[in-house]
Amino acid sequence: YNYLELRQKLIDRGVQFRTQSDTEVLLQLLVHDGEDALKKLNGMFAFALFDNHTKQWMIARDPLGIKPLYYAILDREIVFASEIKALLVHPDIRAECNWTGLQHYLTFQFCLGSETLFKGIRQLEPGFYMKGSTGKVDARIRYWDTNYNIVDQTEESYFTEKLRSLIDEKVGLQIRSDVPLGAYLSGGLDSTTVATMASNHLGQRLKVFHGRFYDGPAFDESPYARIVANELNAELIEVVPTPEEFADILPRLIYFLDEPVAGPGLFPQYIVSKAASKHVKVILGGQG
């Protein structure tokens, strides 16, 4: 998200660009700063870099693991992909159960560390990069970790203002887009905060998308979404997921996810996202 700032710093160092894309900024940053470039990236990413001259390669994943990256180490090669299903088409990789990963999932509802549910397939952990030459792994290195700076403050106002400032800064970075942008809006605290700050930054009418349920007042949050949309003068688009859609879409969701994911919100999230894709190309959310 901070590619514009990084681009300008590279230009100041004499780097010339052929395009306006963030991908070229990443490439030039890696060429000039090497592995230290990872610490300068602010955003979500998973990428691979291969130097055809030295035959050195590197794969990296963003600090929070928002973007997936899977790999398998074979006898003479390393294969990697953003989806497990892509690795399973390799002739030397079989779809066999990893019992350690299964134990993790049944205990914690997700796999710990680099484990997956498939034998021989691992995930590159958040905040890590791996490098090597040809078919050999030389190192797997953590480049980012949580840093707890204990602040000697007790006033609630300090923490609320600090949190507001941080969220506002991140939203401001993430609304940089050359294509139509919108936001999810449940009417709850998280999505309302993100939508409000995005609306303030954009200075134009924002499209917001809401999944509505007709199963009684306890499940229908649309009144809250409408209140927020009215306050923001946003265009509210409501989507109503149905049981029939769930039955039809469940196999597709399983295919997309590659592994079990614990979370009842997956189905309505998919329905709302599908509807939003008809209006916008980029969407903000408060899911975390």
What is the per-residue pLDDT across 50-74, written as a single tens digit (0 to 9) for each? 999 999 999 999 999 999 999 999 9
In a domain, 111, yes or no: yes
In a domain, 37, yes or no: no
Whether residue 165 is found in the same domain as residue 127: no
In a domain, 30, yes or no: no
CA 173, 131, 133, 92 dihedral sign is: negative
Question: At which of 142, 177, 197 does a domain end?
Answer: 142
- The percent of residues in the chain predicted with pLDDT above 70, rounded, is 100
The pLDDT-based confidence of 288 (bands split at 50, 70, 90) is: low
Whether residue 107 is found in the same domain as residue 172: no
Predicted local distance difference test score (pLDDT) of residue 43: 92
The pLDDT-based confidence of 235 (bands split at 50, 70, 90) is: very high
Question: At which of 80, 115, 142 does a domain end?
Answer: 142
In a domain, 87, yes or no: yes
Question: At which of 110, 142, 174 does a domain end?
Answer: 142
In a domain, 273, yes or no: yes
When divided into structural domains, the chain yields a total of 2
Range of the domain at 161: 156-284
What whole-number distance in Å separates Cα of residue 46 and Cα of residue 33? Answer: 18
Query: Any idea how long the chain is?
Result: 288
Average pLDDT, the chain: 93
Whether residue 221 is found in the same domain as residue 135: no
Whether residue 84 is found in the same domain as residue 175: no
Whether residue 81 is found in the same domain as residue 129: yes
- pTM (two decimals): 0.89
What values do phi and psi take at 171, rounded to 5?
-65, -40
Q: What is the CATH number of the domain that holds 100?
A: 3.60.20.10
Cβ atoms within 10 Å, residue 233: 10
Whether residue 47 is found in the same domain as residue 110: yes
In a domain, 34, yes or no: no
Whether residue 279 is found in the same domain as residue 190: yes
User: Is residue 204 predicted with pLDDT exceeding 70?
Assistant: yes
Q: What is the pLDDT of residues 142-167, one digit of tens each?
A: 999 988 777 777 788 988 999 999 99
The pLDDT-based confidence of 130 (bands split at 50, 70, 90) is: very high
Predicted local distance difference test score (pLDDT) of residue 135: 83
In a domain, 20, yes or no: no
Whether residue 163 is found in the same domain as residue 214: yes
